Amino acid sequence: MLTQAVESYVAVRRAAGFAFGSAGILLKRFAAFSEARGESCVRASVAMEWAGVARSVPQRARRLGIVIRFARYLRAEDQRHEIPPVVFGAEKRTRPVPYILSQDEIRRVIQAASQSGYRTLRRATYSTLFALLACTGLRVSEAIRLRLGDITPDGLVIRRSKFRKSRLVPLHDTVRPGLERYLQQRCPYAPGDDHVFVSLRRKPLLLHDVEIAFRTAARAGGLPSGPGHPRPTPHSLRHTFAVRALQACPDGREAITQNMLSLSTYLGHGKVADTYWYLQAVPDLMSEIADRCERFVMGGGA
């Protein structure tokens, strides 16, 4: 019974736009665990026992949170299902402070990538990829899934990305020439694959490979690392794009609201709160907000 309920629940979540990959797998394991103990309904004690098998506290919290949401869904129609208490703490970890690159640091990373490794397509691939991430704010996963047909006169078509949303990302006129130069090298190298970015194996890039390449370029470019510093990652280029866009926002409540909504849509955020997060996560933005508030209070206007 629980296995069937899990299948129905997962189908509903996916129909609502959630990928529900690992969470669906975990729920199936929980259903099998419960049914092996003769349970046909969610039992709090069984849920806590199953979640407690995980090695770390964050993993236990996530497991139990998944079951809690599942139990609430079932209990809406059947009061026999029990909602487990939150005994392992909050699921979500505190988001790390983002590393925001300066324009000079971005140039150094791209330059280092263009000189890293052998004189092969690899240099052009990673220098072009990092430049595209910096200019567009794409997620790394979105960039490495781009197909040749996704490059259109109107911009890049991002198909069913995070939250299963699709969107069109405009390209600045200065970006297209660099992308076209890369494609002139890339297309003859791997004519059998239509991904924009390919590895030396003539396969789509893997996220792990991108992270290693960025780490190498960041180190060669002299970006700070180690304890006490936010860690630069490929995703830092997206963070940087978002922060620069917010810094360029005009004054005025209506203008700020419109800018936030536009930026949230452009970045493909699931909710605008994810865009507002940058205001509290980046010291430079917090300092600007404080300065504007002070001017407003002192009668100088915002």
Question: What CATH number is attached to the domain comprising 113?
Answer: 1.10.443.10
Q: Name residue 267's amino acid.
A: L
Asked if 112 and 205 sit in the same domain, the reply is yes
Asked if 111 and 15 sit in the same domain, the reply is no
| Residue reference for tokens 């994810």 | 274
- Global pTM? 0.71
Asked if 214 and 250 sit in the same domain, the reply is no
Residue 259: inside a domain = yes
Asked if 205 and 250 sit in the same domain, the reply is no
Residue 264: inside a domain = yes
239 is catalytic: no
- Please state the domain count of the chain: 3
178 with 172: CB under 8 angstroms?
Answer: no
126 is catalytic: no
Residue 95: inside a domain = no
- The single residue of 162, 164, 176, 201 carrying the catalytic annotation is 162
- The single residue of 186, 195, 238, 239 carrying the catalytic annotation is 238
80 is catalytic: no
Domain termination site, one of 55, 75, 95: 75
Residue 43: inside a domain = yes
81 is catalytic: no
**Structure confidence at residue 296 (pLDDT):** 59
Q: Which two tokens stand for residue 260?
A: 């936030």
The sheet with strand 151-152 has its strands ordered as 151-152, 155-158, 167-169
Residue 292 belongs to domain spanning: 235-297
**Structure confidence at residue 298 (pLDDT):** 67
The rounded radius of gyration (Å) of the Cα atoms in the chain is 23
88 with 80: CB under 8 angstroms?
Answer: no
Find, among 15, 83, 77, the residue nearest to 47 by Cα.
83
162 is catalytic: yes
| Rounded distance between C-alpha atoms, residue 148 and residue 89, angstroms | 45
**Structure confidence at residue 252 (pLDDT):** 62
Rounded to 5 degrees, φ, ψ at 147 are -105, 160
Asked if 188 and 243 sit in the same domain, the reply is no
Asked if 71 and 170 sit in the same domain, the reply is no
**Structure confidence at residue 215 (pLDDT):** 94
Residue 226: inside a domain = no
Residue 84: inside a domain = no
278 is catalytic: yes
Find, among 223, 215, 236, the residue nearest to 126 by Cα.
215
- The single residue of 123, 235, 244, 292 carrying the catalytic annotation is 235
Domain termination site, one of 159, 188, 220: 220
Mean pLDDT, the chain cut into blocks of 10 residues (302 residues total) = 92 81 92 94 96 92 94 94 91 78 96 86 95 95 94 90 77 92 93 92 93 95 81 92 82 69 82 76 68 62 51
71 with 51: CB under 8 angstroms?
Answer: no
Find, among 243, 228, 281, 265, the residue nearest to 95 by Cα.
281
| Sheet strands (E) in the chain | 151-152, 155-158, 167-169
Residue 97: inside a domain = no
- The single residue of 139, 186, 195, 239 carrying the catalytic annotation is 139
| Rounded distance between C-alpha atoms, residue 287 and residue 280, angstroms | 10
Asked if 65 and 107 sit in the same domain, the reply is no
Asked if 120 and 192 sit in the same domain, the reply is yes
Asked if 189 and 247 sit in the same domain, the reply is no
Residue 36: inside a domain = yes
**Structure confidence at residue 259 (pLDDT):** 77
